[in-house]
Amino acid sequence: MKVVDLTLTIHEGMPCFPVSWYPSPKFEDILHVDNDPTNSHRYASKALLFSHGGTHLDSPKHYAYFDCKETIDIVPVDTLVNDCVWVHFPDKQNLEPITAEDLEKATAGKVIEGKTLLITTGYTDRNWEVRDDYFQVSPYLAVDAAEWMVAKKIKLVAIDFQTDKPGDASFPVHNELLSHKIYIQEYITNVQGLIDAEIGDEFIMSIGALKLKDLEASTCRVFAIKV
């Protein structure tokens, strides 16, 4: 079995979307070797995490669809662990869209209905914690790509770039996908790991979303698994 980790590391000072309400992670050791009352040299810590920080999964509640009842704690398990088709566009430039035509060509001859679709460009691998304008110049999904995914009846799309065109505050792609209950896994990383593992373009994707009652999203640990 081959397993590839596709998850960004969460740490204090990590990149955060440049808006005032976006919190940075905070970690604190509540118990440590110097204050353990039993002298058992234990550590116990707490972490302040933002549900959209780093590699994370959006549910339809993120944009208030389905009366806000489709929350992150009830994502079907066969969506979180599902057959996946991977398409890679290494030549996509900054601020260039991935279109329906791109996806149609890349998936020709493959069955994708009911599956997870992983779309990568290498953008996050190249630019995370490197570019100060990481969130401003990302490739993105064109609206017709979202409409194509709805028509193809995929369950979930995972990407290593931003979902919507940077600066488009109407978020048309988020709205198109989530309104059709297509979950969005953002900020995948380690594309080179997939290439080096020779895992192929079809495998199982496992998404460890936290079971956070009534919330709209969760940070995740994501693996590609080839049995």
The pLDDT tens digits of the residues spanning 74-93 come to 999 999 999 999 999 999 99
Burial 166-184 (b: 16+ CB within 10 A, else e): beeeeebbbbbbbebbbbb
Phi, psi of 151 (to 5 degrees): -65, -35
The percentage of residues in the chain with a pLDDT greater than 70, rounded to a whole number, is 100
Task: Find, among 207, 218, 219, 208, the residue nearest to 84 by Cα.
Answer: 207
On average, the pLDDT of the chain sits at 97
Which CATH code for domain 2-9+52-226? Answer: 3.50.30.50
Chain position carrying tokens 């969130």: 135
Confidence of residue 53 (pLDDT cuts 50, 70, 90): very high
Please state whether 193 falls in left (phi above 0), alpha (psi between -120 and 50) or beta: alpha
Q: What residue segments make up the domains of the chain, in order of their start?
A: 2-9+52-226
How far apart CA 23 and CA 16 sit, in angstroms, is 7
pLDDT for residue 205: 98
pLDDT tens-place string over residues 113-161 = 999 999 999 999 999 999 999 999 999 999 999 999 999 999 999 999 9
